[in-house]
Structure 1
Amino acid sequence: MSKQGYHHGNLRQALIQAALELIPEQGPTGFTLSEAAKRAGVTPAAVYRHFEGREDLIAECARQGYAIFADVMAHAWADGKPSALAAFSATGRAYLAFARQFPGHYMAMFESGILPNRSPNIAEAAARAQDITYRAASALMAHIPSDRRPPVAMFAAHIRALSHGVVELYARTPTSSPFSPEELLESGIGVYLRGLGLIAQDQ
């Protein structure tokens, strides 16, 4: 591909796409800006028209990832329809689907060292994504007597940790597990919800 210097049609998004391809291949900090520029078909100098450096580029990948993630989770939650429990299960499957379908975004969000508080834009996108889990947890908590109800934030954090663990250990790399990531996540959430009395022991 010939170098296009400063005349690329949409250089910013082309560089983001290049980074999203390189991140799964080399890790979020394993590629250089020169490699991203080469893949985008521009000169390395052209990168600095849009990004201060590699970290700035990865941060934008993370911001876009959080925005996509929030949309995916909101679609799965569907305002708690047809039931809070069914919709909650759908958000777990959506978490796995997002990690598989958007590996570059996922790694930029969770494995690059870029924290949501790096910028207001990233923080806003991350908060919107977390709010879906919080609302789903709140809807389920409403079915538990108040004296046995854990803090909603803790409940949501437990589910995020469980989902993230299944993604990291089983969904993104081949394993010898006899169970699919979906089965592992569903059964793990089931154990948790049974312990809270949200579903019957024989379900």
Structure 2
Amino acid sequence: MPKRGYHHGNLAQALVASALELIEQKGPSGFTLSEAAKLAGVTPAAVYRHFDGREALIAEVARQGYAIFADDMERAFAGGQPSALAAFEATGRAYLGFARRHPGHYIAMFESGIVVTRDPALNAVATRARGVLEEAATALSRHIPEEKRPPAAMFSAHVWALSHGVVELFARNSPGTNVPFPPEDLLETGIGIYLRGLGLLSPDA
């Protein structure tokens, strides 16, 4: 594995870039800090100027991923206006798009075991990302009679879980899980079934 030839500039970001590459190749637990340092072209001791261990480095990868993710979700939500339904569906598609474009970040965020509350900055940006989907769910749930309306946090959690399941099973080339439908179609129809159950779509929509 060639060194990146790091000489100057932002060492912390060079290490994040190395960690992203290693996470995609080996998974979040499949590499050491020494490997990340070697890929960045620095000594292992240099890593500790910025990160006190591998978990801290992965947490920074996750933090940056959540920032990109939150921006993507916010753009999708705004782009779907003024229809609450379109905005809600757009945020679901944004989840799938993010996982495809940023696999290393996605793994660090959702598969590394990093607890978002370990760091205030990480927790803040993760909360912002979750808040977009909850905002979309809140807007859409206003069309449900109040006595039948699920809490917005539950509503958004269901769609988050559905989106995550589609990504994990069908959008990341998992062996033995090929189906004759694009992940986008699976997500759209799954959300449609859920929304029909809540009375937000007609049976024929």
2:172 corresponding residue in structure 1: 172
Structure 1 runs not aligned, ≥5 long? none
**What residue identity is the alignment partner of 1:41?**
G
- Misfit runs of 4+, over 2 Å: 1-4
2:196 corresponding residue in structure 1: 194
Structure 2 runs not aligned, ≥5 long? none
Q: CA deviation at 1:10?
A: 1.4
Contact 2:28 2:111 (C-alpha < 8 Å) held by counterparts: yes
Contact 1:3 1:43 (C-alpha < 8 Å) held by counterparts: no
Q: CA deviation at 1:2?
A: 7.9
Kindly tell me: are residues 78 and 43 of structure 1, through their superposed partners in 2, closer, same or farther at Cα, counting changes over 3 Å? Answer: same
- Quick one: distance in 2 between partners of 1:198 and 1:96? 22
Q: Normalized against structure 2, the TM-score is what?
A: 0.94
Contact 2:100 2:171 (C-alpha < 8 Å) held by counterparts: yes
After TM superposition, the structure 1 = structure 2 runs for residues 70-81 of structure 1, keeping only pairs within 5 Å, are 70-78=70-78, 81=81
1:25 corresponding residue in structure 2: 25
1:183 corresponding residue in structure 2: 185
The share of aligned pairs that are identical, in percent, is: 67
After TM superposition, the structure 1 = structure 2 runs for residues 73-112 of structure 1, keeping only pairs within 5 Å, are 73-78=73-78, 81-112=81-112
Q: Deviations over 1:56-93 (max 9, x none)?
A: 10000011111110000000000751311111111111
Kindly tell me: are residues 2 and 176 of structure 1, through their superposed partners in 2, closer, same or farther at Cα, counting changes over 3 Å? Answer: closer
Work out the number of aligned pairs and report it. 201
Kindly tell me: are residues 32 and 188 of structure 1, through their superposed partners in 2, closer, same or farther at Cα, counting changes over 3 Å? Answer: same
1:123 corresponding residue in structure 2: 123
1:35 corresponding residue in structure 2: 35
Q: Normalized against structure 1, the TM-score is what?
A: 0.95
In angstroms, what is the RMSD of aligned CA positions? 1.4
Q: CA deviation at 1:173?
A: 1.5
